[in-house]
Chains A and B, each alone.
Chain A
Amino acid sequence: MTGRATFGDFLHAAHRGLAGGASSPPPARGDVEEVSRSLLRVVTIMGRYIQDITTAFSDMPDRTSLPLGAWDRASVQAREALTNSAGFLIPRGAGRPAWPAAPSASPLARRLDEIARSLTTGRDLLHTHFTPGPQGGRAHRSPWALAITSARVNRALLAEIGLLADRIAHHGANVALTPIGGTPTNVGRRRRLNAACQWLWVLHASAEAAHRAEPVPATDRHLLAAIPVNTLPTRPLLADAGTIAGLCDAVIATTERARYLAWQSTGQPPGSPDLTVTSMRQIAETSMVTSHNCAIVARTLAASTASRAIPGTSTHLAATAQAAQLASGTWHQIARALRQVTTDTRGHVSPAAAEAHDLAMWTGRLAYTDPTWTPASGPHHPTRPPHDLADRPQDLPQVVAAVHHACETLTLLTGTEHDQLRAAAQARRILVPTRTLPGDYDIPRPYGPAPPQRTSPLLGHYRAASQASRQATTAIGRAAQATGAPSRALTTARAATQATPSASPDTDLHDPTAEGSQQQPRDTPGPLQHTLLGLGITSPALLARGADLDQASQRLLIDAAGQLPPTHKRPPATTLNRTAASAALLNHALASGDPRATQLLRQPGQAERKEAEPEPEPEPEL
């Protein structure tokens, strides 16, 4: 599309960092010191994400009157788990994390450094949608900011961090429990690394428990991945728009530019000289044309899909055509009403208005056969036949996506224009020619402030256009869903910012078709199976028995976690890590993702952060 980086680029890179592949197997070994330092980097950036999530949850309205939900609890537990994990990784005596100057040499440490970089860049990308607001809060810099702070996106984000934590814990614990022959063994460091990984499993278990209670739909995960960096996309070039695909890309790039610029304009004060009736008129008239063009394209696609026996899609497209035509009519009413008023500054055409003109042009070239069509050409031109617009079934989604983006943009413009007009009217910047007023207005000037009788109907027209454009967006959103168009994330984003969580997840978080973030199959051997493999055993029967015993021991420990003795009779949790064997058993129980297992680490009634305090001096058993 526009080539803008998305959050998914960095999230998937982080997931790929430990997945391995044909050319780069998963890293199995690493220097404990280096791995600990690199893991601390990952844990630190994960902690910042959780801080963002916690802020977003607490920013939501009326939270105080609601009971703590599953994901609220998970975010609190994740924060605690990361704090504890970091506590085991920070070198003793160091006031703050010691960052090594030299790059890591160990394979796992290098991978962890890459993950930390990917996660840091991804978080920076999300933060491009915000700017420091009053009283230390965050002000929104784009329409995406609403989605980023939504509960649905934050759940998806926490679920992704949980998956990453699980994978990282496996690799980290493997390094902690597998001394390399011939290298000096720092027993205490290994125990602390293992304990840090165990808290990552706690994080994972918290997210898993929340996911079981309130599943994260795949659409929300796709939405998270689709969040783009908040920059102005490059203006499309005429030379690149010689094909339907090129025109669709040009439409989408222009819509993204228009949305970006329209949002920026909302930050202007009401007195800004950039707010002119000239821009308002251009946006209104070109949006009327764009809506009309969208109706033509949707009607053509509806005919095309009807003839191909895709009835559901055809119905949605026909509804889009009808709604877009209605929206075109409402924009026409705005354009007419704007002729009756003016502003104290004129002539300046805002960047958003320029993009609105380009959008009319690009959608027109998609609708009509004339490759030189402009809004001034008018509608009396041959429209593209269905086979020209979407000859092959695979062409359909991209054209649907172009119309979807256009309708979404017009919906945004109705809102931003309405708000600007209202603010300008309150600032008495909307004027009328006095010669157009009835005789009882005795104003000895050619112009005067617009009376409410002029501004109120105009604002009403914007509201009508908003409703009609929203209906068109909803209809084309359904067509996008039906055709698998890449613009589906727009629908999810709109839903995420308008309502509470989806109660009907269409796909599980662990969608096996999704890139990067799908759950790895639970083929990690347990302690006994690991020992058998270490002995060179390859017999399937023996390995299966080992796996069964591992599973039984895992269940036993989890059951035991529910029957732990009172605090004063219980040894510190760190005692469990004193030997490699017990540490491996505990790891296996924690890695199950069963939240009951986390009780093995926790001390009831005790402030949980205390567990991160320096543990006893390392003992030689491990």
Chain B
Amino acid sequence: MKRLTAAGDRFHQARDLASVLDAACDAFEEILSVIGGFEDASDVVDVPLLLAATQAANGRDAVLFAPCLPPRRLHQPQQAGEEPQRGSAQDIPAAVAKLSMLLGARLAHTAGTMAAGADRAACQDAARYARAIHDLLTGAGAGAGAGP
């Protein structure tokens, strides 16, 4: 869970648009990595986590095509050889939900400060996917899309 916390801290500290987008992209990647690690270690599929991972990939993709995203990472990823900390079925959803709430709020705020354009649309889309992750993992969205 430390990686999620670190990703959240870096995102929180980002100031300009390029660093916000870069940190958001990394944060979505960290969510994917943590959920993937859990899936590797577990025999049971946790459907809400699976759906959350899909939304994280969608959020990552939204940021990925923002014009102001730096072409290369601003920060180096976790050092090779450092074992990622695995979480349990209980604490992963909570940690991911917390990070996604931060992502959703900050990206929406960033979008609100920008003129219309591809960067703003990317932030809005990414914020929407981040909120979807939060809703999936907190049960707020269980009734959403309940069908026809």
Contact = CB atoms under 8 A, between A and B. Distances in A.
B57 A338 contact: yes
Interface stretch (B3-11, B40-48, B110-118): B40-48
A372 B143 contact: yes
Contacts of B70: 446
A491 interface: no
B60 interface: yes
A433 B48 contact: no
A285 B52 CA distance: 10
B72 A444 contact: yes
B142 A436 contact: no
Nearest to B67: A446
Interface string B46-84: 111011011011101110110001111100010000000
B71 A446 contact: yes
A361 B29 CA distance: 28
A63 interface: no
Contact of A336 (B29, B39, B71, B144): B39
Interface string A330-351: 0010011011001000110000
A336 B136 contact: no
Contacts of A545: none
Interface residues of A, number: 41
Given A278-B58, A435-B73, A446-B69, A335 B143 contact: no
B27 interface: no
Contacts of A278: 58
Contact of A281 (B39, B47, B54): B54
B32 interface: yes
A433 B33 CA distance: 14
A525 interface: no
B60 A238 contact: no
A491 B32 CA distance: 40
B142 A339 contact: no
B45 A288 contact: yes
Interface in B101-148: 125, 135-136, 141-148
Main secondary structure of the interface of B (DSSP, over half): helix
A332 B145 contact: no
Interface string B12-44: 000000000000011001001000100100000
Contact of B51 (A237, A375, A434, A446): A375
Contacts of B39: 332, 336
A435 B65 CA distance: 13
B11 to A, nearest CB: 15
Interface string A263-305: 0000000000000011001100100110010000000000000
A378 interface: yes
A427 to B, nearest CB: 18
Given A347-B125, A374-B142, A358 B45 contact: no
B36 A277 contact: no
Task: Give the residue among A357, A361, A374, A378 with the most B Cβ atoms within 10 A.
Answer: A378
A377 B46 CA distance: 10
Contact of A446 (B48, B54, B64): B64
Nearest to A338: B57
Of listed B39, B51, B73, B135, residue having the most chain A CB within 10 A:
B51
A379 interface: yes
Cβ-closest 9 pairs across A and B: A339-B57, A378-B47, A342-B61, A281-B54, A376-B142, A378-B48, A444-B71, A361-B147, A446-B64
10 contacts: A285-B54, A335-B50, A335-B54, A374-B142, A375-B51, A376-B48, A376-B51, A433-B64, A446-B69, A447-B65
Interface of B: 25-26, 29, 32, 36, 39, 45-48, 50-51, 53-54, 56-58, 60-62, 64-65, 69-73, 77, 125, 135-136, 141-148
Given A237-B148, A281-B58, A435-B26, 13 more contacts: A235-B148, A238-B147, A281-B54, A282-B54, A346-B58, A346-B62, A347-B125, A374-B142, A374-B143, A374-B146, A435-B25, A444-B71, A447-B64
